[in-house]
């Protein structure tokens, strides 16, 4: 029943105070113990230190406040246009990462005691000497390129620098092949550029916004939530395509509860309507694109009537929403999404999204998308890196020709066996066992083949269990990292600096990289004693200084280039034809469909339900579930179950169940939440729970992990993405399961 829903009062969207504000998080004081001995709050000396939040990857700038040297609170930086001067719930709970009692405290090395492997605490010298020795031997025996980095997060830049100085630029991150890869590749193939991170949508000026599965509001990328809320306050027409009644679905004029896996059909039908009714931006299409005639012929058969049968969205709703988009264009944003790895045809779906935006004339136009700009910040002068003989993709020749960056699935496969391509791993800030479905057996095999596995972590994550050496990094509140300089609407720099001394024996990443560099004879790449010297040098090149940034935290710079396309100026897009490519010769030449083709999703096996998953506001994946402040707010994930399904299985809200996958994997217990907001063909859970590492004492064993239940992975042949949405589960009831505990 794809009808219009306008009963919900729009201005209630995301109460900023409850979703983004500080109010939701209890003061860290309860964790510190011994509060009674402290003077009354409000009587001490207050100091503040600038930081960049690291609770997710959106990089909001803030300030840590201390009273008499003790942690008081963290707030947003008012000058930060990127975050609107606010932190979200997770950001406000950031100090919990610093206070977490389960943090890694000392370097650890794998040793064998009485035939059993265990970790032993070692000194930094012992750990670093061991790693440098292994890295030397890998470089001499196999070549430095055989040392691979797997990474996530800003702090990995220090280790990338180290590895490039050593001679390797081999690397891959789950944030590509398990996240935004298909979107970036789909947009690049079409308009010549990616949709960027942060996403370059001009939602604040949009008059119509279309969300396909992007559950903004549960997906809590701060600045983006605020611009959507701003648009809703200006009465934007919001169209949400989501099989689940998501937070934005509840604020939409049109909620389209699409049959999962059929989005490409809907996108093609929308293009069919725009072309058929002459509603597309003819001038824009003529001026900037190639392949329109082929597209017109291609979408001819994807009529709303035919597509209704696939998607469940009624023809009149498909037409009405297409007309809404056209009416508002070019101030229409069809959001590119972010976690785009769904059904294995994701690059093509992302291309269809890009093409729809192009028909609406919204790419690089006001209210559609903007052109991001960075501060031109010079690099610190250093010797050139040696030129690697191999690039990452040489590990899996001929596969995924348009990936454009390392593919995690490929590099992991290329790390298994005696003749494996890779010989050593440096893993930074990524928890592969939870992040890459079905990877555990391969990780075990890789760990057995590799000569060196180093894991740089703050927490005893599941990944640390595969390491030879675990290096404890201090948290973002205890260190310098590189300046934030993202391509955005407003160019700006932001500083992360230590607000506290590193706790225990943890150390900042830049220090580890320099120490390893020293042991590898690479001192010339690390000429600073302290990383702040490098930052100060860079800041002075743009008329600022470390001293200034330590006071202000964020510095805004004027734009030098236009925010949008300039009418009547020739434009050259970064595609082979220099035009926007509605028809992709590149794809055709490589044997792929030159225009997106719809294929129906796998049917749901009898007795099973689609496994739907996503974000919850209070956590970032499994990275924050052990954070004592955020744990308090959201201690477990819940399983959304439709009332019909609940009655069929005799389930009530609050019951615990286990889920089973078609190949016999049974999950941890998860609490049921019976709700109409999910259809009877699916169940839904937030990703990031069901931790196995017992040393994560708050969160271990709590809730279920979607990754372990995913057995039907759809790899995108164009760029190697891990499609995760074609998975099915059934209930394994507690009593029926018998031996469950
Ligand atoms: N099943 C399933 N899989 C998914 C997803 C899903 O929804 N479901 N989502 C996908 C998406 S969108 C993404 S982006 C990826 C993300 O997956 P990952 O790249 O694995 O990222 P995180 O889960 O954030 O893992 C961060 C790890 O870094 C550690 N860490 C935290 N802070 C620091 C620090 O300051 N320094 C260091 N060295 N380490 C730190 C944390 O303890 C944690 O173990 O997962 C993908 N995988
Ligand atoms: N609080 C919080 N916010 C986060 C994160 C976090 O961990 N916590 N992670 C950040 C990261 S790295 C990412 S990548 C983003 C991810 O955020 P998004 O890109 O918004 O998330 P997805 O996981 O792709 O989408 C989830 C939504 O897609 C719907 N869906 C499922 N199947 C289909 C389908 O077939 N068609 C359609 N149209 N919809 C479908 C689900 O019901 C759900 O509402 O979130 C970011 N924001
Ligand atoms: S969105 Fe929230 S968690 Fe992410 S960086 Fe900003 S404040 Fe931190
Ligand atoms: Mo992501």
Q: Tell me: the pLDDT tens digits for 585-605?
A: 999 999 999 999 999 999 999
- Three-state secondary structure readout of 460-487: CCHHHHHCCEEEEECCHHHCCCCCECCC
Residue 56 in contact with ligand 3 by CB distance below 6 A: yes
Ligand having the closest approach to the CA of 86: 3
Residue 98 in contact with ligand 1 by CB distance below 6 A: no
> Which has more pLDDT, 153 or 21?
153
Ligand having the closest approach to the CA of 55: 3
Ligand having the closest approach to the CA of 56: 3
User: Going by C-beta distance under 8 Å and a sequence separation of 6 or more, which residues neighbour residue 397?
Assistant: none
Q: Which atom of ligand 2 is nearest to the CA of 617?
A: 1
- Mean pLDDT for 708-723 is 97
Residue 688 C-alpha to ligand 1 middle, in angstroms? 9
Residue 706 in contact with ligand 1 by CB distance below 6 A: yes
d(CA 615, CA 625): 12
d(CA 667, CA 338): 27
Residue 221 in contact with ligand 3 by CB distance below 6 A: yes
- What confidence score (pLDDT) does residue 38 get? 53
Residue 430 in contact with ligand 1 by CB distance below 6 A: yes
Ligand having the closest approach to the CA of 153: 1
Q: Which of 99, 178, 198, 721 is the best mutation target for the ligand 1 pocket, counting ligand atoms within 8 Å of the beta carbon and taking the most?
A: 178
Residue 222 C-alpha to ligand 4 middle, in angstroms? 14
Distance of CA 612 to the CA centre of its chain: 17
Q: Which of 17-26, 358-367, 649-658 has the lowest mean pLDDT?
A: 17-26
Q: Is the pLDDT of residue 732 over 90?
A: yes
- What confidence score (pLDDT) does residue 665 get? 95
- What confidence score (pLDDT) does residue 569 get? 87
- Considering the chain, what percentage of its residues have pLDDT values greater than 90? 92
- What confidence score (pLDDT) does residue 26 get? 45
Q: Which atom of ligand 3 is nearest to the CA of 86?
A: 7
Ligand having the closest approach to the CA of 240: 2
- What confidence score (pLDDT) does residue 34 get? 37
d(CA 462, CA 303): 48
What tokens appear for 699 in the block? 């969160």
Q: Which atom of ligand 3 is nearest to the CA of 76?
A: 7
**Among protein residues, the one whose CA lies closest to atom 16 of ligand 2:** 339
- What confidence score (pLDDT) does residue 36 get? 39
Residue 625 C-alpha to ligand 4 middle, in angstroms? 16
> Residue 148 forms beta bridges with which residues?
425
- What confidence score (pLDDT) does residue 41 get? 62
pLDDT tens-digit series, residues 27-47 = 444 444 333 345 566 678 999
- Sort 640 into a burial class: Cβ within 10 Å, 0-12 / 13-18 / 19+: buried
- Sort 666 into a burial class: Cβ within 10 Å, 0-12 / 13-18 / 19+: middle
CA distances 56 to 82, 335, 408, 699, 717, Å, are 14, 20, 20, 18, 29
pLDDT tens-digit series, residues 355-395 = 999 999 999 999 999 999 999 999 999 999 999 999 999 99
Residue 212 C-alpha to ligand 2 middle, in angstroms? 9
Confidence band, pLDDT 50/70/90 cuts, at residue 341: very high
Tokens 């064993």 -> residue:
701
Q: Is the pLDDT of residue 110 over 60?
A: yes
Residue 216 C-alpha to ligand 2 middle, in angstroms? 8
- What confidence score (pLDDT) does residue 348 get? 98
CA distances 710 to 23, 291, 322, 462, Å, are 37, 38, 35, 18
What tokens appear for 352 in the block? 């269809």
Angle at 421 between CA 418 and CA 422, to 5 degrees: 90
- What confidence score (pLDDT) does residue 43 get? 78
pLDDT tens-digit series, residues 540-564 = 999 999 999 999 999 999 999 999 9
Residue 222 C-alpha to ligand 3 middle, in angstroms? 6
Q: Is the pLDDT of residue 432 over 70?
A: yes
Q: Is the pLDDT of residue 252 over 70?
A: yes
Residue 88 in contact with ligand 3 by CB distance below 6 A: yes
Residue 499 C-alpha to ligand 4 middle, in angstroms? 28
Q: Is the pLDDT of residue 656 over 90?
A: yes
Residue 59 in contact with ligand 3 by CB distance below 6 A: yes
- Mean pLDDT for 341-364 is 98
Q: Which of 31-45, 89-103, 272-286, 412-426 has the lowest mean pLDDT?
A: 31-45
Tokens 């164009």 -> residue:
718
Q: Is the pLDDT of residue 8 over 90?
A: no
- Mean pLDDT for 481-489 is 97
Q: Is the pLDDT of residue 663 over 70?
A: yes
Q: Is the pLDDT of residue 24 over 50?
A: no
Residue 696 in contact with ligand 1 by CB distance below 6 A: no
Q: Which atom of ligand 1 is nearest to the CA of 705?
A: 1
Residue 87 in contact with ligand 3 by CB distance below 6 A: yes
Q: Which atom of ligand 2 is nearest to the CA of 624?
A: 7
Residue 242 C-alpha to ligand 4 middle, in angstroms? 18
Q: Is the pLDDT of residue 222 over 70?
A: yes
Q: Which atom of ligand 3 is nearest to the CA of 62?
A: 7
> Residue 623 forms beta bridges with which residues?
none
- What confidence score (pLDDT) does residue 479 get? 98
Residues with Cβ within 6 A of ligand 2?
A: 56-57, 179, 212-215, 219-221, 241-244, 246, 258, 260-261, 263, 337-339, 342, 612, 614-615, 617, 619-621, 725
pLDDT tens-digit series, residues 84-98 = 999 999 999 999 999
Confidence band, pLDDT 50/70/90 cuts, at residue 1: very low
d(CA 396, CA 388): 16
Residue 179 in contact with ligand 1 by CB distance below 6 A: yes
- Three-state secondary structure readout of 318-346: HHHHHHHHHHHCCCEEECCCCCCCCCCCH
**Nearest C-alpha neighbor of 54 from the set 11, 29, 80, 90:** 90
- What confidence score (pLDDT) does residue 42 get? 67
Q: Is the pLDDT of residue 737 over 90?
A: no
Ligand having the closest approach to the CA of 338: 2
Q: Which atom of ligand 1 is nearest to the CA of 614?
A: 7
**Among protein residues, the one whose CA lies closest to atom 46 of ligand 2:** 219
Q: Is the pLDDT of residue 345 over 70?
A: yes
């Amino acid at each position: 029943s794809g009808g219009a829903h306008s009963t919900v009062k729009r201005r209630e969207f995301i109460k900023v105070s409850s979703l983004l504000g500080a109010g939701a998080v209890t003061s860290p004081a309860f964790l510190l113990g011994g509060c009674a001995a402290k003077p009354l709050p409000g009587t001490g000396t207050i100091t503040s230190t600038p930081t960049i939040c690291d609770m997710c990857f959106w990089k909001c700038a803030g300030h840590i406040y201390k009273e008499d040297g003790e942690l008081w609170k963290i707030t947003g930086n008012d000058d930060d246009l990127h975050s609107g001067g606010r932190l979200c719930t997770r950001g406000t709970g950031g100090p919990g990462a610093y206070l977490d009692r389960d943090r890694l405290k000392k370097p650890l090395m794998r040793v064998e005691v009485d035939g059993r492997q265990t970790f032993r605490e070692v000194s930094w010298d012992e750990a670093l000497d061991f790693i440098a020795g292994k890295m030397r031997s890998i470089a001499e025996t196999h070549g430095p390129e055989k040392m691979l980095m797997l990474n996530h997060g800003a702090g990995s830049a220090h280790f990338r620098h180290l590895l490039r100085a050593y001679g390797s630029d081999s690397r891959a991150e789950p944030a590509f092949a398990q996240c935004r890869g298909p979107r970036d590749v789909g947009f690049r193939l079409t308009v010549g550029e990616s949709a960027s991170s942060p996403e370059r949508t001009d939602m604040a000026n949009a008059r119509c916004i279309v969300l396909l599965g992007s559950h903004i509001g549960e997906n809590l990328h701060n600045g983006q939530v605020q611009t959507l809320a701003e648009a809703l306050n200006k009465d934007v027409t919001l169209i949400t395509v989501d099989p689940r009644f998501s937070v934005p679905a509840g604020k939409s004029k049109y909620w389209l509860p699409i049959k999962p896996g059929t989005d490409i059909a809907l996108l093609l039908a929308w293009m069919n309507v725009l072309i058929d009714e002459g509603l597309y931006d003819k001038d824009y299409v003529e001026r900037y694109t190639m392949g329109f005639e082929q597209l017109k012929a291609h979408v001819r058969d994807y009529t709303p009537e035919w597509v209704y049968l696939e998607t469940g969205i009624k023809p009149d709703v498909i037409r009405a929403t297409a007309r809404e988009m056209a009416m508002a264009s070019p101030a229409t944003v069809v959001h590119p999404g972010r976690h785009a790895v769904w059904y294995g045809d994701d690059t093509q779906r992302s291309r269809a999204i890009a093409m729809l935006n192009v028909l609406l004339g919204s790419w690089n136009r006001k209210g559609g998308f903007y052109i991001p700009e960075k501060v031109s910040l010079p690099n610190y002068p250093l010797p050139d890196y040696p030129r690697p003989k191999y690039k990452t993709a040489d590990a899996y020749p001929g596969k995924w020709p348009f990936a454009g960056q390392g593919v995690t699935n490929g590099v992991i496969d290329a790390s298994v066996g005696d003749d494996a391509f890779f010989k050593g791993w440096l893993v930074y800030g990524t928890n592969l066992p939870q992040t890459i479905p079905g990877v555990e057996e391969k990780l075990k095999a890789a760990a057995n083949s590799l000569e060196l596995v180093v894991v740089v972590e703050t927490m005893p994550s599941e990944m640390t269990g595969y390491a030879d050496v675990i290096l404890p990094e201090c948290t973002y509140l205890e260190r310098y990292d590189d300046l934030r300089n993202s391509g955005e609407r407003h160019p700006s720099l932001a500083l992360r600096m230590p607000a506290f001394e590193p706790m225990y024996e943890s150390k900042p990443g830049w220090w580890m990289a320099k120490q390893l560099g020293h042991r590898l004879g690479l001192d010339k790449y690390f000429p600073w004693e302290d990383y702040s010297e490098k930052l100060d040098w860079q800041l002075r090149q743009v008329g600022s200084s470390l001293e200034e940034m330590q006071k202000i935290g964020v510095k805004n710079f004027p734009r030098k280039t236009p925010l949008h396309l300039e009418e009547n100026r020739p434009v050259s897009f970064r595609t082979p034809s220099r035009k926007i490519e509605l028809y992709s010769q590149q794809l055709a030449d490589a044997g792929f469909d030159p225009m997106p083709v719809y294929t129906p999703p796998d049917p749901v096996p009898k007795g099973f339900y689609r496994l739907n998953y996503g974000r919850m506001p209070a956590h970032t994946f499994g990275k924050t579930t052990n954070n004592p402040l955020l744990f308090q707010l959201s201690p477990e994930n819940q399983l959304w179950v439709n009332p019909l399904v609940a009655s069929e299985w005799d389930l009530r809200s609050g019951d615990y169940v286990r889920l089973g996958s078609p190949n016999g994997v049974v999950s941890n217990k998860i609490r049921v939440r019976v709700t109409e907001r999910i259809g009877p063909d699916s169940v839904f859970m937030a990703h990031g729970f069901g931790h196995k590492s017992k040393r994560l004492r708050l969160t271990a064993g709590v809730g279920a992990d979607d990754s372990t239940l995913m057995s039907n992975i759809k790899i995108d042949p164009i760029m190697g993405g891990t499609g995760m949405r074609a998975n099915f589960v059934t209930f394994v009831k507690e009593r029926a399961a018998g031996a469950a505990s």
